[in-house]
Amino acid sequence: MAAMSTAVKVQEVRDVTRIERIGAHSHIRGLGLDDSCDPKSVSEGMVGQQKARKAAGVVAEMIREGKIAGRAILLAGAPGTGKTAIAMGIARSLGSDTAFTSMSGSEIYSLEMSKTEALTQAIRRSIGVRIKEETEVVEGEVVEIQVERPASGVGSKSGKLTLKTTDMETIYDLGSKMIESLMKEKVRSGDIIVIDKATGKISKLGRSFTRARDYDATGAQTKFVQCPEGELQKRKEVVHTVSLHEIDVINSRAQGFLALFSGDTGEIKSEVRDQINCKVVEWREEGKAEVVPGVLFIDEVHMLDVESFSFLNRALENEMAPVVIMATNRGITKIRGTNFKAPHGIPIDLLDRSIIIPTQPYTEAELSDIIKIRCEEEDCDMQPDALTILTKIAQETSLRYSIQLITTASVVAKRRKSTQVSVEDIKKVYTLFLDEKRSQQFLKEYQDQFMFNEAEESTSMD
Ligand SMILES: Nc1ncnc2c1ncn2[C@@H]1O[C@H](COP(=O)(O)OP(=O)(O)OP(=O)(O)O)[C@@H](O)[C@H]1O
Ligand SMILES: [Mg+2]
């Protein structure tokens, strides 16, 4: 076991398969709180919902300080009251170093793996491991780069790189790979560069101060740095953060991290996970790594079934657990997979462990502000009367429906070569696209023309 576990590989690869499903919330840039954690009425794309935002701000603060892990938070409220938006606001305010995974409750049924495996992967994606590593680097000022191309024009290039510190100067032989990366980084003499000896990665630190007088050749953004002192070769400490899931994937197959790109990670053996957990604990004890709990956001959480809830409950008790934020718009309803009813369709034992943040319906002014922000986000110039009508529509039908009308109405406006959306455009799309209530009405009127119609047996569709 010990021999095996020394082989645990870590690589800095961002998981690229995560799909962005949050276009509707692209205007949310944070929670819009001031320094004392109080919500401003309109800020960072956020409007109203002040109590819930303040509560979310407290949660975000605790996550940032690493104070809570293994806690559950439930955002509960009617549809369209900004639950998903607030979760996105928390994500934006955390910064890129904290893992944030977003999934919908129903996702666990659609993947080619068991429900518990899907949940385990989501949980492990939400736990970051900050790893400190010492690497050998060569750091110095470029004196000269010489590249020789073979006379025939074919074959690989070769060359020489002269680097110096204030105390020494050395000439290195260059292979074609190194030449390529030097060119890609646009390295030239007078640059201070670092070469990672293990990976061959070249990074530019800046221009040497001695070159500060070549005004013509330097742009405004050029950073000037001192020529390094001492030895060219040194040991440097680098820190990178990866998620537990990424470490799992890299170590679970021969092709390793390529699976992260294809998204084809499949099920991961529990032995691999056990081995990695042991290793991480070991690293932590040696002071080489830090575990940073992140956030797992489960939207539409009532879609989970009773087994998944109990699995989640247990996972929260694990030593390495993320903060779980859930959202639901359900009232008292059946827990999926049982005949028992519970608030929000969530088992009482999980609810008991959760802190609940309620969201409230919006006022007319708030609806109008949200619609205005969405218009700006979609580069849509809306006439004031049209905005008033959209706000009315949001009140009578739903906020989502009226946000949908912004996009469709601006297409209609463009068709008639107008840059502004008018009341007429809104009227037109309002008659073209039905909201949920009118759609039900329509179904009731024309039920006999549809297939599989059951409206007569069940009198109400709610
Ligand atoms: N306070 C707010 N400030 C700015 N935009 C908001 C706010 N609340 C909601 N929105 C926007 O309104 C739309 C609907 O809100 P959202 O999707 O967050 O509702 P929800 O509570 O998650 O609803 P559901 O229960 O149906 O999932 C989204 O486009 C969202 O970005
Ligand atoms: Mg939602």
pLDDT per position as a tens digit, 217-276: 556 667 888 999 999 998 888 788 889 998 888 887 644 555 555 555 677 888 888 889
From the number of C-beta atoms within 10 Å of its C-beta (0-12, 13-18, 19+), residue 408 rates as middle
Greater confidence, 14 or 264? 264
**Residue 111: per-residue pLDDT:** 64
Q: Quick one: which of 124, 146, 7, 74 has its CA closest to 342?
A: 74
Q: Is the CB of 403 under 6 A from ligand 1?
A: yes
pLDDT at 18 over 50: no
Distances (CA, A) of 49 to 38, 41, 52, 331, 358: 12, 9, 6, 20, 10
CA atoms of 229 and 231, how far apart (whole Å): 7
Mean pLDDT of the chain: 84
pLDDT, mean of residues 179-192: 90
Q: Which residues pair with 192 in a beta bridge?
A: 141, 206
Phi and psi at residue 143, in whole multiples of 5°?
-90, -45
Percent of the chain beyond pLDDT 90?
39
Q: Is the CB of 85 under 6 A from ligand 1?
A: yes
pLDDT at 290 over 60: yes
Q: Which CATH number fits domain 128-287: 1.10.3720.10, 2.40.50.360, 2.60.40.10, 2.70.150.10?
A: 2.40.50.360
Residue 52's pLDDT band, with cuts at 50, 70 and 90, is very high
CA atoms of 122 and 105, how far apart (whole Å): 11
How far apart are the two ends of the chain, measured CA to CA in Å? 57
**Residue 462: per-residue pLDDT:** 45
**Residue 345: per-residue pLDDT:** 93
CA atoms of 161 and 195, how far apart (whole Å): 12
pLDDT at 216 over 60: no
Q: What is the enclosing helix (H) or strand (E) of 335?
A: none
Q: Which residues pair with 381 in a beta bridge?
A: 420
Phi and psi at residue 257, in whole multiples of 5°?
-70, -10
**Residue 50: per-residue pLDDT:** 92
Question: Residue holding tokens 């759609």?
Answer: 439
Whats the size of the chain, residue-wise? 462
What is the bridge-based pairing of β-strands 332-334 and 341-343?
Answer: antiparallel
Give the count of beta carbons closer than 10 Å to the beta carbon of residue 88: 25
pLDDT, mean of residues 374-393: 90
Domain with CATH 3.40.50.300 in the chain: 20-126+294-361
Give the list of residues 6+ apart from residue 252 with CB closer than 8 angstroms, or none. Answer: 259, 265, 268, 269, 272
CA atoms of 51 and 70, how far apart (whole Å): 23
What single-letter amino acid sits at 451? M
Q: Quick one: which of 214, 235, 5, 222 has its CA closest to 133?
A: 235
Residue minimizing CA distance to atom 31 of ligand 1: 25
Q: Is the CB of 82 under 6 A from ligand 1?
A: yes
Q: Is the CB of 48 under 6 A from ligand 1?
A: yes
pLDDT, mean of residues 276-283: 91
Q: Is the CB of 399 under 6 A from ligand 1?
A: yes
From the number of C-beta atoms within 10 Å of its C-beta (0-12, 13-18, 19+), residue 235 rates as exposed
- pLDDT tens for each residue of 406-421: 989 988 888 888 889 9
User: 427 CA distance to ligand 1 centroid (A)?
Assistant: 24
CA atoms of 185 and 206, how far apart (whole Å): 12
Which atom of ligand 1 is closest in space to residue 77's alpha carbon? 21
Q: Whole-structure pTM over 0.75, yes or no?
A: no
Give the count of beta carbons closer than 10 Å to the beta carbon of residue 144: 12
Q: Is the CB of 32 under 6 A from ligand 1?
A: no
User: 79 CA distance to ligand 2 centroid (A)?
Assistant: 7
pLDDT at 214 over 90: no
Residue minimizing CA distance to atom 25 of ligand 1: 79
- Which segment of 165-174, 258-267, 327-336 scores lowest on mean pLDDT? 258-267
Domain with CATH 2.40.50.360 in the chain: 128-287
For a ligand 1 pocket test, name from 74, 83, 363 the mutation site with the most ligand atoms within 8 angstroms of its C-beta.
Answer: 83
Q: Which fold has domain 20-126+294-361?
A: Rossmann fold (3.40.50)
Asked if 325 and 60 count as a contact pair (C-beta separation under 8 A), the reply is: no
Asked if 173 and 191 count as a contact pair (C-beta separation under 8 A), the reply is: no
Residue 185's pLDDT band, with cuts at 50, 70 and 90, is confident
Residue 454's pLDDT band, with cuts at 50, 70 and 90, is low
Q: Is the CB of 81 under 6 A from ligand 1?
A: yes
**Residue 461: per-residue pLDDT:** 44
Q: Which CATH number fits domain 364-441: 3.30.1010.10, 1.10.8.60, 3.30.70.100, 1.20.59.10?
A: 1.10.8.60
Domain with CATH 1.10.8.60 in the chain: 364-441
Residue minimizing CA distance to atom 16 of ligand 1: 82
Q: Quick one: which of 415, 421, 435 has its CA closest to 387?
A: 421
**Residue 265: per-residue pLDDT:** 63
CA atoms of 156 and 154, how far apart (whole Å): 7
User: 462 CA distance to ligand 1 centroid (A)?
Assistant: 21
Q: How many CA atoms lie within 13 A of 363 on its CB side?
A: 7
pLDDT at 198 over 90: no
User: 82 CA distance to ligand 1 centroid (A)?
Assistant: 3
